[in-house]
Amino acid sequence: KAGVTQTPRYLIKTRGQQVTLSCSPISGHRSVSWYQQTPGQGLQFLFEYFSETQRNKGNFPGRFSGRQFSNSRSEMNVSTLELGDSALYLCASSSGTGGGYEQYFGPGTRLTVT
Amino acid sequence: AQSVAQPEDQVNVAEGNPLTVKCTYSVSGNPYLFWYVQYPNRGLQFLLKYITGDNLVKGSYGFEAEFNKSQTSFHLKKPSALVSDSALYFCAVPGAGSYQLTFGKGTKLSVIP
């Protein structure tokens, strides 16, 4: 099976712009989560989706939003970019819901805001 | 709130020696615990998980982890380290009622030839 794919892999944006990142989960996985990784804050949870419904959201401002489509693909959007949004954004998928299921991560999208 | 702590930012070990990467947890109820590894410029890879049952969990690439309830620890171990094991290791715990993961700060493992 193909793994989790994320596009684009690298992105450079200017402050104030907006950006959309895409994630395709492993075939058959209906749960998708997003994480932000920075050197200072480490790995932080952004969103969790299951069957097109957002089940959980982390402690991020409203500029961060996401959605999931009927084919389980997911997108996240960041509007009005700030320098502090520079990070590696990781998407993960899981075959089920509940804490006992491991998540499989994509390679990430490296976002640089200048 | 569920949390994990990794007390060591970096662990250095000689190739061929046993390695241990430490993790302690604070959770309510019976914990689910995970270990992930991240190689440079890559996403996280699942290594192993503890759900219930045997306290010694075996995972990928020869890694294993020992769950210790009395010490609230879940240390990652490998009997003989390889240079290719050099990477960033994360311990993680899911939130109550969800599977959003809370990660430790990560431990950088360097295996010296």
A28 interfacial to chain B (CB closer than 8 Å): no
CA distance A17 to chain B (A): 25
Q: Is the pLDDT of residue B54 over 90?
A: no
Min mean pLDDT across A92-96, A97-101, A107-111, B45-49 is at A97-101
Q: How confident is the model at residue B97 (pLDDT cuts 50, 70, 90)?
A: low
DSSP code string of chain A: ----EEE-SEEEE-TT--EEEEEEPPTT--EEEEEEEETTTEEEEEEEEETTEEEEE-S--TTEEEEE-TTS-EEEEE-S--GGG-EEEEEEEESSSSTTS--EE---EEEEE-
CB atoms within 10 A of CB A7: 12
Query: Which of the pair, B83 or B1, is modelled with greater confidence?
Result: B83
Mean pLDDT of A14-38: 96
Cβ B104 vs Cβ B5: under 8 Å? yes
Q: Is the pLDDT of residue A5 over 70?
A: yes
Q: Is the pLDDT of residue B98 over 80?
A: no
Reduced to 3 states, what is the DSSP secondary structure of residue B60?
helix
Mean pLDDT of A20-40: 95
A chain contacts of residue B106, beta-carbon cutoff 8 Å: 42-43
A4 interfacial to chain B (CB closer than 8 Å): yes
DSSP state of B15: T
Q: Do A100 and B101 touch (CB under 8 A)?
A: no
Mean pLDDT of A7-29: 97
Q: Do B99 and A31 touch (CB under 8 A)?
A: yes
Cβ A108 vs Cβ A10: under 8 Å? no
